Amino acid sequence: MEKFFKDFPKIIYEGPRSKNPLSFKYYNPEEVILGKAMKDHLRFAVAFWHTIRNEGTDPFGLPVMDRPWMKYSDVMDQSFAKIDAVFEFCEKLGVEYFTFHDRDIAPEGEKPRKSNEILDKVVDHIKEHMKSSNVKLLWGTANLTAHPRYAQGAATSPDANVFAYAAAQVKKAMEVTKKLGGLGYVFWGGREGYETLLNTDMELELNNYARFLKMASEYAKKIGFKGILMIEPKPKEPTKHQYDFDSAHVLGFLKIHGLWDDFKLNIEANHATLAGHTFSHELRFARIHGKLASIDANQGDLLLGWDTDQFPINIYETSLAMYEVLKSGGLDCGLNFDAKVRRSSYDLEDLFYAHIAAMDAFAVGLKVAARLLEDGVLEEFLRERYSSYSNGVGKDIVEGRIDFEGLEKYVLDKPSNFKPNSGKQEYLERVINDYLLSVE
Ligand code: XLS
Ligand code: CA
Ligand code: CA
């Protein structure tokens, strides 16, 4: 078996003062934080489509990255080499999980039956690697966006034949995910949306989307898949409007269609900002509803209006993200680097630099969030800010013991110029900076 990363050392923790760019300064996998090893809090995953498949093409440019595992002319040889590459890369990096779409790992055949056979061969190759490796599957998914038959959607296609193709593809992808012991399965509705309402039966499409998801959830139960089924919100791109717009849309959709207990959420940072929210907002909304299952860890560029899928290096963001994760009691799955190196970062070593930077950024985030929680600074502030709901009229409101008439009576003879205490935003922002600046 060809070794693709033989020129690189195993990446290890060397501490903040190390000058070695191929080492972790903060990610110390076995270090225990709040009673759990860092690696178990974070459960990092390498995304197959970006790290292994991406060759740096964009709408204006040809491939620019020489990836030795892509050089094989025989498609099956290439598929096996890509699997060899992901295992070798994860092992070098000390990342224990990866994620994939069915079509990332295996090409499509001339009929779905043939596609399934090809996929099975590649899955057997993955299983072989898993026998001697620590590397596991975080989650699997099906690519329902690339093939021309999905140009107008998959489960929300105007054509019932396409619905059937998509169902068959997801059925197989779920079987394969189960076979590989995936912790979850992701549904991302990339083309489940519309370009114009003029040609769209929105009511039928939404109902069909719900029917599709119900069938998927029933099939998961039928085959005994124990992983978490997740929907990944994204507001737009490739379509103008996507039905799984953001956490709130998706959770509302699940409620309306009786799917609440069947799905949780996989939140991606870049999709949050595309929806006009912060990453923390999406995590918070998922978390307070008990629906935060996994994270696609990346970041966007606020000056660009599309999904740039950059490696997450902003420690302010990773700290607030890990705060939500800890408050949620951890993730069912983990942190998947749905991120790609920039087109001009075409060396193999850039793949290492990118992942190392991102892993360190989340390790810092974890440390900061753990200290914030231990010290209870934000909790204490919130307790104080909302204290009027713990007694008196506030308690009556919260416990449903008072109505409009009672509330009118309560305020009628109070001075009109009432004003609550200051929100102290700048004070809190400085507190966060203090924690960031004192991380070790
Ligand atoms: C695309 C999505 C996609 C999902 C998996 O924007 O992020 O990659 O994570 O289908
Ligand atoms: Ca994603
Ligand atoms: Ca994305």
The Cα–Cα gap between 363 and 41 comes to: 9
Give the ligand at the shortest distance from the Cα of 187: 1
The Cα–Cα gap between 225 and 204 comes to: 29
SS3 132: coil
Contact call for residues 208 and 162 (beta carbons, < 8 A)? no
pTM of the full structure: 0.98
Contact call for residues 331 and 295 (beta carbons, < 8 A)? yes
Q: How many CA atoms lie within 13 A of 175 on its CB side?
A: 12
pLDDT in tens, the chain (440 residues): 899 999 999 999 999 999 999 999 999 999 999 999 999 999 999 999 999 999 999 999 999 999 999 999 999 999 999 999 999 999 999 999 999 999 999 999 999 999 999 999 999 999 999 999 999 999 999 999 999 999 999 999 999 999 999 999 999 999 999 999 999 999 999 999 999 999 999 999 999 999 999 999 999 999 999 999 999 999 999 999 999 999 999 999 999 999 999 999 999 999 999 999 999 999 999 999 999 999 999 999 999 989 999 999 999 999 999 999 999 999 999 999 999 999 999 999 999 999 999 999 999 999 999 999 999 999 999 999 999 999 999 999 999 999 999 999 999 999 999 999 999 999 999 999 999 999 98
First to last CA, the chain: 41
Chain mean position to CA 16? 28
SS3 185: strand
In this structure, the residue with its CA closest to atom 2 of ligand 1 is: 188
Tell me, what's the pLDDT at 340?
Answer: 98
Q: Which atom of ligand 1 is nearest to the CA of 237?
A: 6
Q: Which atom of ligand 1 is nearest to the CA of 268?
A: 7
The answer for residues whose C-beta is within 8 angstroms of residue 392's C-beta and 6 or more apart is: none
Between the CA of 307 and the centroid of ligand 3 the distance, in Å, is 5
Rg (CA), the chain: 24
Ligand 1 residue neighbourhood (C-beta within 6 Å):
101, 141, 186, 188, 232, 234, 268, 296, 307, 338
Angle (CA) 344-11-91 rounded to 5° is 90
Q: Which of 102, 104, 246, 309 is catalytic?
A: 104
Rounded to 10 deg, the angle between the 75-93 and 348-375 helix axes is 40
In this structure, the residue with its CA closest to atom 8 of ligand 1 is: 338
Q: Which of 50, 101, 125, 281 is catalytic?
A: 101
Residue type at position 287: R
Q: E strands, 85-227, where?
A: 97-101, 136-141, 184-187, 193-194
β-pairing verdict for 193-194 and 228-231: unpaired
Q: How many CA atoms lie within 13 A of 405 on its CB side?
A: 0
Asked if the peptide bond before residue 238 counts as cis, ω within 30 degrees of 0, the response is yes
Tell me, what's the pLDDT at 1?
Answer: 86
Between the CA of 270 and the centroid of ligand 2 the distance, in Å, is 8
Between the CA of 188 and the centroid of ligand 1 the distance, in Å, is 6
Q: Which of 309, 226, 225, 239 is nearest to 273 (CA)?
A: 309
SS3 189: coil
Q: Which atom of ligand 1 is nearest to the CA of 307?
A: 6
Q: Which atom of ligand 1 is nearest to the CA of 296?
A: 9
* Residue 123, token pair as written in the block: 């899955």
Residue with tokens 């189960």: 178
Chain mean position to CA 2? 31
Q: Which of 191, 192, 232 should be mutated for ligand 1, with most atoms under 8 A from CB?
A: 232
Between the CA of 425 and the centroid of ligand 3 the distance, in Å, is 30
Catalytic residue at 101? Answer: yes
In this structure, the residue with its CA closest to atom 4 of ligand 1 is: 188
Q: Which of 234, 237, 270 should be mutated for ligand 1, with most atoms under 8 A from CB?
A: 234
Between the CA of 266 and the centroid of ligand 2 the distance, in Å, is 8
In this structure, the residue with its CA closest to atom 1 of ligand 1 is: 190
Separation in Å, CA 391 to CA 105, 396, 399: 58, 8, 10
The Cα–Cα gap between 70 and 51 comes to: 12
Q: E strands, 161-231, where?
A: 184-187, 193-194, 228-231
DSSP 414: S
Catalytic residue at 124? Answer: no
